[in-house]
Amino acid sequence: MLSGKEYVCVMRLHHATPENKVKTVLDEFQGKIYQRPPLRASVKRRLRTRTIYYLDFLEMKQKHVLFKVGCESGTYIRKLCFDVGEVLGCGAHMQELRRTRAGSFTETEGLVTLYDLLYYADKWRETGDEENLRTIIHPMEKALELLPKIYVRDSAVAAVCHGAYVTAPGILSLETGIRKKDGVVIFTQKGEAVAFARALASSEQILSMDHGFVAETVRVLMDRDVYPKMWGRSGSI
């Protein structure tokens, strides 16, 4: 849910507006923007910033504008359409919306129908053969590809699985660009997802640390018994 999203949207303008003006205003909404969630949102209506990675004008027919937008998680496209309409001075609302990407999952790669899933699941129940089923069910790590990662030593895995904080001595490597309070995924040396955590320091700070907490475990993803317990009485890793 924290990964970026991509949408294709049909925005309806309330009054006729020149196409070149629409393109210019759409370009202005790329980058950091301020948004207040709409009235029908399921979150508190606080003013917040969101990043629009790209906003591509595709075509326009009369008052209908088709565009593609890549954005940070938590961006409201219907509010984006409203704000674009305000800047244009004509008013606008979201007419149709289609999500084309969520994190590493796109609508063009690896999708299967529910009929295929049901067919292979029935075959698995009948024969016990998982081969076909495994071709359409992705491992959990697939959903975490685009999130920042911290790799820990095998000796630290069991402690994290029991909810321990990740400490500097337990880290083998990490990705750059991590900021304090960012959501991160803790991985083993083999690339197995251990837990989702919240960074307590930036990448640069973590690299300079030889002790102390670097991430707080939020949700454990791996079974506790996969790796043996290897911590001392203090529970540190």
**Are 122 and 45 contained in the same domain?**
no
Q: What does the pLDDT look like over 133-145, one tens digit per residue?
A: 888 888 888 888 8
Domain hosting 124: range is: 108-138
**Are 37 and 86 contained in the same domain?**
yes
**Are 18 and 59 contained in the same domain?**
yes
Residue 233 belongs to a domain? no
**Are 99 and 23 contained in the same domain?**
yes
Residue 168: both structure tokens together: 């500097």
What total number of domains does the chain contain? 3
CB 170 within 8 A of CB 155: yes
Asked if pLDDT for residue 68 goes beyond 70, the answer is yes
Residue 198 belongs to a domain? yes
CB 154 within 8 A of CB 172: no
Q: Is the pTM above the cut of 0.85? A: no
CB 141 within 8 A of CB 191: yes
Q: Where are the alpha helices (DSSP H) in the chain?
A: 19-28, 77-88, 114-127, 131-136, 154-161, 203-207
Residue 75 belongs to a domain? yes
SS3 183: strand
Asked if pLDDT for residue 91 goes beyond 80, the answer is yes
Residue 33: both structure tokens together: 């923007």
**Are 210 and 154 contained in the same domain?**
yes
Give residue 97's pLDDT band: very low, low, confident or very high (50, 70, 90). Answer: very high
**Are 63 and 129 contained in the same domain?**
no
| Pick from 38, 33, 105, 26: nearest CA to 66 | 26
| Pick from 60-69, 165-174, 193-202, 228-237: least confident | 228-237
Share of the chain above pLDDT 90, in %: 67
Domain of 73, CATH number, reads 3.30.70.3190
**Are 118 and 176 contained in the same domain?**
no
Report which of residues 89 and 143 the model is more confident about: 89
Residue 122 belongs to a domain? yes
Mean pLDDT of 162-171: 94
